Amino acid sequence: MRRIREERDEAAFAELFGHFAPRVKAFLIKSGADAGQAEDVAQDVLVTLWTKAHMFDASRASVATWIFTIARNRRIDVLRKDRRPEPEDLTWGPEPEPDQADAIAFQQEADALGTAIAALPARQRELVERAYYGDLSHAEIAAETGLPLGTIKSRIRLALERLRHVMK
Amino acid sequence: MNDINHHLTDALLMGYSAGTLPEAFSLVVASHISLCDECRARLESFDAVGGAVLERSGRVAMDDGALEACLGRIANADWAPTRTVAKAVGSDLPEPLTSYVGGGLGEVRWRKIGGGVSQAVLKTSKGATARLLHIPAGRQLPDHGHQGTELTLVLKGAFRDEEERFGAGDIEVADQHLTHKPVAEEGEDCICLAATDAPLRFSTMLPRLVQPFFKI
């Protein structure tokens, strides 16, 4: 992402495309899109990754998380044709000089969360996946998710506090 | 930041992260998160779950020439504008709400619904309704129970029900098990953003009769 943002490196884009485009397409098909829609939306999502690269904050999100949010928003526009109001932005964008150590620590938290989800009992894991594929209504999502979000949440909270401090 | 004591539930945050809440609920969730860093951090954690689900979704091959098509599109693309949801200058409402009202609290078009209470219904998609409520200090909202879920975000002033106090920024998540009599605190009128996915059920006869007319 850094090479895309700072150097507009097309080879770096091609690498991310190779990894994420087929996954975004699979995610959209599991969310109810047909192959043609999924192809079009996946291409849009990867192009958006490029045009909004300067808004990515590596101390608060992994690349996978960020791509998920772009894909989710396109899915709402294209498949659900609904609106999803967004929260107010915190500032003029991410911290100007994201700390490499923060970004690496965040990526480790995100990897640990992925491992924890993979290790959930099958039935619970399927419920989480179905929720994100858009299969469950609010009433069907169990109030107690049982997901181990404590550590990743603490890290995001710290990043938000730093951002508030920078803004002052 | 306000001192916020009542927060969003995990189920609402997960539904909002997944993008499956009805628009009226999303509006309340987005407005609360605009005021509450704790729930913003929780939401971004649920987004991280979405990222993990995306990684686990398997792979479906892209069409031939897809990468070349995208490289062609980005070659001439400009950066998107940085600020997407900027705070409107001088607005006394959270930004997501400002665009529905068309300004700040001064722009709200209130309609009286009895008991001194006024409301303004906001235009959202089917599945749930959203409205602003203005309750004079010390007044009670009509006694009601709930068939579905009702979210109430306090924007100004405060209300109390039998057990708890809800001040500015606090959100109450009520389901069908709760029948309550919220009362606006003395001293300041209370303004709330409320959303429900079912028509409210009033305990007294008159409000039930007027319900269809006022879209409560």
Q: How many CA within 13 A on the CB side of residue A32? A: 13
Q: Which domain holds residue B185?
A: 106-214
Q: What is the largest CA-CA distance in chain B?
A: 67
Please give the helix or strand (H or E) that residue B120 lies within, else none: strand B118-122
- The pLDDT confidence band at residue B29, using thresholds 50, 70 and 90, is very high
Q: What H or E segment, with its residue span, contains residue B193?
A: strand B190-196
CATH code where residue B164 lies = 2.60.120.10
Query: Which residues of chain B neighbour A60 with C-beta distances below 8 Å?
Result: 44
Q: Give contacts of A26 with chain B, Cβ < 8 Å.
A: 57-60
Mean pLDDT score across all residues of chain B: 86
pLDDT category of residue A115 using cuts at 50, 70 and 90: very high
pLDDT band at A144 (very low <50, low <70, confident <90, very high): low
**Residue B45 in contact with residue B19, Cβ under 8 Å?**
no
Q: Does residue B53 lie within any of the structural domains?
A: no
Predicted confidence at residue B207, as pLDDT, reads 52
Q: Give contacts of B56 with chain A, Cβ < 8 Å.
A: 114, 117-118, 129
If one counts the domains in chain B, the total is 1
Q: Quick check: A68 and B54 in contact, CB under 8 A?
A: yes
Does residue B202 register a pLDDT over 90?
no
Within-domain flag for B80 = no
d(CA B4, CA B98): 21
Q: Which two tokens stand for residue A141?
A: 């999502």
CA distance B202 to B5: 28
Q: Spell out the residues 6+ positions from residue A122 whose beta carbon is closer than 8 angstroms to its own.
A: none
Could you write out the DSSP letters of every residue in B31-77?
A: HHHHH-HHHHHHHHHHHHHHHHHHHTS---PPPTTHHHHHHHHHHTP
Q: Which residues pair with B150 in a beta bridge?
A: B174, B196
State chain A's mean pLDDT as an integer. Answer: 89
Beta-carbon count within 10 A of A119 CB = 9
The amino acid present at B20, given as its one-letter code, is: T
**Cα separations (Å) of A105 from A4, A59, A122, A153, B180?**
21, 8, 28, 13, 45
Query: What is the model's pLDDT at position A100?
Result: 83
- The string of pLDDT tens digits covering residues B99-155 is 999 999 999 999 998 889 999 999 999 889 999 999 999 998 755 556 788 899 999
- The least confident of A95-109, A144-158, B193-207 is B193-207
Note whether A71 contacts B149, CB cutoff 8 Å. Answer: no
- A51/B74 Cβ within 8 A: yes
Closest CA to A103 of A65, A68, A67: A65
Residue appearing with tokens 């001088």: B90
Task: With cut-offs at 50, 70 and 90, classify the pLDDT of residue A27.
Answer: very high
Full-model pTM: 0.91
Q: Of B2, B60, B54, give the one whose Cα is nearest residue B32.
A: B2
**Count of residues for chain A?**
168
Q: Report CB contact under 8 Å: B21, A138.
A: yes
Q: Is A107 on the interface with B (CB under 8 A)?
A: no
Looking at residues A146-156, what average pLDDT do you find?
89
Instruction: Give the pLDDT confidence of A54-105 residue by residue, as tens digits.
Output: 889 888 999 999 999 999 999 998 887 789 999 988 765 566 666 788 889 8
CA pair distance B161, A48, nearest whole angstrom: 46
Tell me how crowded residue B130 is: count the other CB atoms within 10 A of its CB. 25
Question: Is B190 a domain residue?
Answer: yes
Residue B155 lies in a domain: yes
| Residue with the two structure tokens 């964008």 | A93
Rg for chain B, CA atoms, rounded: 20
Q: Which residue of A60, A85, A88 is in closest CB contact with B27?
A: A85
Residue B61 lies in a domain: no
pLDDT for residue B205: 47
The mean-pLDDT minimum among A79-83, A126-130, B41-45 falls in A79-83
Task: Please report which residue ranges of chain A form alpha helices under DSSP H.
Answer: 2-7, 10-30, 35-51, 63-75, 100-118, 122-132, 150-167
Mean pLDDT confidence for B81-89: 58
Residue B171 lies in a domain: yes
A159-165: average pLDDT: 85
Residue B24, domain member (yes or no): no
> Contacts of residue B100 in chain A, CB cutoff 8 Å?
85
**Are A139 and B23 contacting, i.e. CB atoms less than 8 angstroms apart?**
no
Please, are residues B144 and B202 in contact by the beta-carbon 8 Å criterion? yes
For residue B142, tell me if it sits in a domain: yes
* A41 burial type by CB count under 10 A (0-12 exposed, 13-18 middle, 19+ buried): buried
Q: What is the pLDDT of residue B180?
A: 72
Backbone φ and ψ of B19, nearest 5°: 85, 30
The pLDDT of residue B203: 47
Share of chain A above pLDDT 70, in %: 92
For residue B69, the model assigns a pLDDT of: 96
